[in-house]
A and B are shown apart, each in its own frame.
Chain A
Amino acid sequence: MTEPLLHVRDLKTYFVTEHGGGTARAVDGVSFDVYPGETLGLVGESGCGKTVTSLSILRLIPEPPGHIRPGSFIEFEGRNLLTLAPKELRAIRGNRIAMIFQEPMTSLNPVFTVGDQIAEAAIVHQRLSRRAARARAVEMLTLVGIPDPQERVDHYPHQMSGGMRQRVMIAMALICRPQLLIADEPTTALDVTIQAQILELLDRLQRELGMAVMLITHDLGVVAGSADRVVVMYAGQVVEQAPTRELFARPLHPYTEGLLASVPRLDTRVSQVRGRLHSIPGQVPAATAWPAGCRFHPRCPYAWDRCATEEPPPLDTPGSEPGTHTVRCWLLTEPQRRERRA
């Protein structure tokens, strides 16, 4: 098997909250790998720690109040990013690993032209001249499908639509041909027809440039269409990870199961439609007070006494190769309990 490009082990990112609210364990022992050229989907609802995970990889967590706990390990191309000197880290950020954010509105600087902003990384990392970098910026605008790139390169962000701005963000991120692109909810702020354009663009660029993509989203539909493997997060932990088809065909963590069942779907039969949607009772607990035992147990339909006291480790699913489909749930040790409920 090929070596992972990014290797995250036991990542813990905590935040000390104001007025004595305690420590928010936003990311609390997260492990996963990203392989060269693949798309890994990182899915979860607000507050599950998916964005903090991605920011931790590039060490963009504001310290204080945040800090990455000792013992956490993030290896990229054979180097531990958590112990790199700032200078070495800067050589990776925006160069080997690039990131795009949800808000194309606020992630672009309103007082510089998009051309200047796209070219900046090439000037810094590849030491291109201004003229050469500008030419590269025009090339990138063409690559991301912006019409009239020669003219658009001198436009300011406010002269562009949301979809165009997201294309500019992608051009900025990809100008140095990164090995890994972290895309944090890249289409959430966009309309559905524009979302389809951006997802198609990301798919095409990934094929053409051969990079790996870490796609962070709350939308299971987006993941189903784009990701090779999926990591599901809940309450600061990875609760399930599996190849995409496997996860959707056989969700084994009760949270994954509940989440999939609560998505309103277009592909349901009309007769089923007007019934009640499945919903997960209660709400995500606060990061300062995760429940004891399994963190999902207060909302879980299968929970029994063991779940309230003992935290399950990631367990391999029977019949799958170790590490390919793991689930943090005691049901894996007592599968008959699931059938009894059903």
Chain B
Amino acid sequence: MTLPAPLVQVEGLVKRFPGARSLLGLGRVRRIVRAVDGVSFAIAAGQTLGLVGESGCGKTTVGRTILRLIEPDAGRVTLDGADVLGLGARELRALRRRMQIVFQDPYGSLNPRMTVQQTLAEPLAIHRLAARPEAERRISSLLEEVGLDPAFARAYPHELSGGQRQRVGIARALSVEPQFLVLDEPVSALDVSVQAQVLNLLAELQRKRRLTYLFIAHDLAVVKHIADHVAVMYLGKIVERAPATVLYAGPRHPYTTSLLSAVPVPDPKAQRQRIVLQGDVPSPATPPPGCPFHPRCPHPKKSSRCGIEPPALREVAPGQFAACHFAEAPM
């Protein structure tokens, strides 16, 4: 089997934020936060990479730096061979047609003073894709494609439910006919029954339009339903990356194992050995030395080495990468 060429390639991505200043901005600058600390992955055309982690792990920053909504400090991002980070403003705008984003919050990501029609017409106008009569036709068909009645074009966001708003957000991203979508927690704010509708829609759109997805989420169960590959982040780094079937069947990093075991399963008979991690995620401004996970790590083989030597992300099984000194003896 030959692997399809990657559409999106990310290498050594780094983003640092200056820490907040104390004393109303007059105090000394606090430590730099390494939000994204050397992240690399590739996504093949038409496939989905699930990027998973808890709040503050840097997953959202990864998504935004790829699109240059946030400028990264180092690294390389290519879309279909084009160097995204080296582009000037004009070329970047042209490239944005090919890569779009859907945000988590369907309430905050639509302008409340614009109708659905106006929201969807804007990208068409910016990219000079369609003028009025043609634009209206395209908006109608976009709405139908995302499962909304074209009559919704005249509605304002407050008249829509959360699920409907998220469909509008998806339609807006699709309006410029992109190849690549960053989906940043697209179903986290939705109720279970609506979440299933939107996940099915995303899967269907991907098939029909041959879209490539970076699906950012905190919920491993949701990711299992949509991703071909999964990357798990902790404190700005990818700690494990593998094909979804491999990762769910046999995680190699103790953080992945713990995350999987912490997801509540809707089956009262499931007698699972739940691993409850102790403590909180450390601040990314002061990451622990050595392996960033070692203070919380439940691995029985954990040793003093973990607190000194940072483990590299290495291939521990075909296609499966893990950053753990004991990945050969998973928990």
A277 engages B266 (CB within 8 Å): no
- In this assembly, does B109 line the interface, its C-beta being within 8 Å of a C-beta of chain A? no
User: Contacts A259-B193, A262-B195, A264-B219 known; A270 to B266 CB distance under 8 Å?
Assistant: no
What distance in Å separates the Cβ of B274 from its nearest Cβ neighbour in chain A? 6
Query: Per-position contact with B for A185-199: 1 when CB-CB < 8 Å, else 0?
Result: 000000111111101
How far apart sit A248 and B220, CA to CA, in the bound complex (Å)? Answer: 21
Residues of A within 8 A of B244 (CB): 273
- Give the total of A residues in contact with B, Cβ under 8 Å: 47
A263 engages B266 (CB within 8 Å): yes
A191 engages B218 (CB within 8 Å): yes
- In this assembly, does A280 line the interface, its C-beta being within 8 Å of a C-beta of chain B? yes
B245 engages A270 (CB within 8 Å): yes
Identify which of A16-24, A66-74, A217-225 touches chain B: A217-225
- In this assembly, does B78 line the interface, its C-beta being within 8 Å of a C-beta of chain A? no
B259 engages A277 (CB within 8 Å): no
Residues of A within 8 A of B260 (CB): 266
How far apart sit A258 and B194, CA to CA, in the bound complex (Å)? Answer: 11
Our pick among B224, B248, B280, B281 for the contact of A164 (Cβ within 8 Å) is B280
- In this assembly, does A161 line the interface, its C-beta being within 8 Å of a C-beta of chain B? yes
Residues of B within 8 A of A197 (CB): 276-278
Minimum CB distance partner of B56 in chain A: A191
B192 engages A267 (CB within 8 Å): no
User: Contacts A193-B259, A196-B276 known; A277 to B200 CB distance under 8 Å?
Assistant: yes
Minimum CB distance partner of B220 in chain A: A266
B161 engages A221 (CB within 8 Å): no
Residues of B within 8 A of A199 (CB): 264
A279 engages B196 (CB within 8 Å): yes
A273 engages B225 (CB within 8 Å): yes
Residues of A within 8 A of B219 (CB): 192, 264
A267 engages B196 (CB within 8 Å): no
Q: Give the residues from 277 to 296 in chain A that come closer than 8 angstroms, CB to CB, to chain B.
A: 277-281, 283-284
What distance in Å separates the Cβ of A217 from its nearest Cβ neighbour in chain B? 10
Minimum CB distance partner of A243 in chain B: B268
How far apart sit A195 and B264, CA to CA, in the bound complex (Å)? Answer: 9
Give 6 nearest A-B pairs by CB, closest first.
Answer: A221-B264, A279-B196, A262-B196, A191-B54, A45-B191, A280-B193
Give B residues with C-beta under 8 Å from A.
54-55, 161-164, 191-197, 199-200, 203, 218-222, 224-225, 244-245, 248-249, 258-260, 262-270, 274, 276-278, 280-281
